[in-house]
Amino acid sequence: MSGIVGGLGSPDPSTVRRMLTHMRHRGPDQEGFWASEEVVLGQNRLTTMERTPGPLPLRNEDGAVIAVVDGQIYNFRELRARLQAHGHTFRSRGDTEVVVHLWEEHGPELVTRLDGVFAIALYDRRAGRFFLARDPLGIKPLYGGLQGGTLYFASELGGLLAATDQVEEFPQGSCLVRAVQEPSQPLTCLADQAQPYWDVPTAPPDITDPQAAVAGVRERLRRAVEKRLLARVPVGVFLSGGLDSSLIAALARQLTSRQLHSFAVGLAGSDDLRYAARVAEALETVHHEYAYDEADLEEALPTVIAHLESYDPALVRSAIPTYFAARLARQHVKVVLSGEGADELFAGYAYLRRLDRQRLQRELRAVTAALHNTNLQRVDRMTMAHSLEARVPFLDLEVVRWAFRLDPSVKLRGSEPVEKWVLRKAAEGLLPASVVARKKAKFAHGTGTSQVLQAIAARRISAEALRRAQQQAASRQTGMPLVRSREELLYYRLFRERFPQKAVLATVGRTRSVVPGELGEEGLGQGAPA
């Protein structure tokens, strides 16, 4: 994985170098930089695929096509073989070099040939065209902003803000092609000018047979895990002891001949630590634990929010244990597998039980489409903060497409609906029965983190301070967003200390999978999504 930066128009190379320095944690192993009058490209890389990585930025044979890529291309060997058969020559054995050669063959359509996660910036000097793209679900981040007519872009807001205060998120599943000289139209809002090439499936579900649903999930998830075990370096697993991460760990254990390291965190005596130890023993992983306390949480909070680039309370709550798990994992591996995405695809959240069939299908699409700046942002930022690469098998596009073909009746099943029924059946025989049957517990709850964070906020934020903040938000004169609890106000203040720029507020995603009372709302309250 990497951090990518650059500029289009009249970019200042020294500014882009500062942007790159801000994101060195994303790729401490290698740095590359290239500059012309119209385009500047930079990249920090974390090497996981090559023993001796090729030069950065990436180039085609004659250097006319130059690119920086953050991500992992899982079908690169197949693509490489086809490109070599068409006469292309490669400089490295890595996965992302296929991008520059695919551009020569297919232009912007290259994104439809990639099986993987990516943020791409590419300059075709011969054609005078510039290209930006982001993977279908937004697993890899990308932001852009204008400064004096020049477009700057970066993997993280912290890097981009070294160049401009006018920032916005580049849309997931979209790409942008621009003429470098004499563009046909001025570059303004990225969201308006980026062209979508993928969206969450909208066709009506057509699979109602439970056995077919289970078999399809098991086979596609197995292939997804197998792809993501591809690495030169050891691969580990985050293990909360819940169904999702445990199923990923069980499949990974079957598919690798190496030792499999697993990582669990939480308050001493928490459910996650207890269940994770049980799974680790059953799977015979090399298991690592870290038990944190209230002082650890309070000390880490400003750092976590600065890296997270959000103050969404549900996201911050789950980011804290993810941060500690990533720190623990990086002591042993460079790559981890995570169970992210299962709840959104297979109906894992409690509030979904009260929705009828049609509303459930719409809500699952909505929460999946929103992952790019909620849970996926958390996983990316917390792992990259420790120079650790996270891979998410549940969000393999084959798994996503299959999940949306499944009728809701095989996701929530029974008179008292059991969440993620199809996943539980897929996990039978692979995991201890107590883990297969374990009810959904959000990461912050299973680790015991939620109540401690609420107590910290109650100590640091008074009820009067919350009331004043809510009045300011209601007046609409200060531009302050609504905050619903003392906990959220604490996170908001820490966020604004790090990100005082007004435009940054529009990039903050809001977690939909929250029910009334879950976050200790006070004063104005909050309703669950419909």
CA separation for the pair 168, 146 (Å, rounded):
9
Q: What is the pLDDT of residue 182?
A: 61
Q: What mean pLDDT comes out for the span 277-287?
A: 97
Co-location of 215 and 364 in the same domain: yes
The verdict on 227 and 172 lying in the same domain is: no
How does pLDDT run across 372-399, given as a tens digit for each residue? 999 999 999 999 999 999 999 999 999 9
Q: Alpha carbon of 345 to those of 192, 199, 217, 244, 405: distances in Å? A: 28, 14, 11, 11, 11
User: Is residue 416 domain-shared with residue 372, that is, in the same domain?
Assistant: yes
pLDDT at 226: 97
Last residue of one domain, picked from the residues 437, 452, 467: 452
The answer on pLDDT for 231 being more than 90 is: no
Q: What is the pLDDT of residue 176?
A: 95
Examine residue 514 and state whether it is found in any structural domain, yes or no: no
How much is the pLDDT for 235? 92
Residue 311 has pLDDT above 70, yes or no: yes
Task: Quick: pLDDT tens for 84-120.
Answer: 999 999 988 889 999 999 999 999 999 999 999 999 9
pLDDT at 524 over 50: no
Q: Is the peptide bond before 171 cis (omega within 30 degrees of 0)?
A: no
0.75 cut: is pTM over it? yes
Residue 497 lies in a domain: no
| Residue 477 reports pLDDT greater than 80 | no
Question: Is residue 278 situated within a structural domain?
Answer: yes
Q: Decide if 31 is inside a domain.
A: yes
Domain membership flag for residue 502: no
pLDDT greater than 80 at residue 415: no
522 belongs to a structural domain: no
Per-residue H/E/C for 41-62 = EEEEECCCCCCCCCCCCEECCC
Question: Residue 313 and residue 328: Cα distance in Å, rounded?
Answer: 23
The residue range of the domain holding 347 is 210-452
Task: Count the residues in the chain.
Answer: 530
Give yes or no for residue 5 having a pLDDT over 70.
yes
Residues 375, 249 share a domain: yes
Residues 6+ positions from 192 with CB-CB distance below 8 Å: none
- Do residue 176 and residue 244 come from a single domain? no
The distance of Cα 351 from the centroid of its chain, to the nearest Å, equals 23
Report the number of distinct structural domains present in the chain: 2
Is 202 among the domain residues?
A: no
Residue 52, pLDDT score: 63
474 belongs to a structural domain: no
> Looking at residue 444, what is its pLDDT?
73
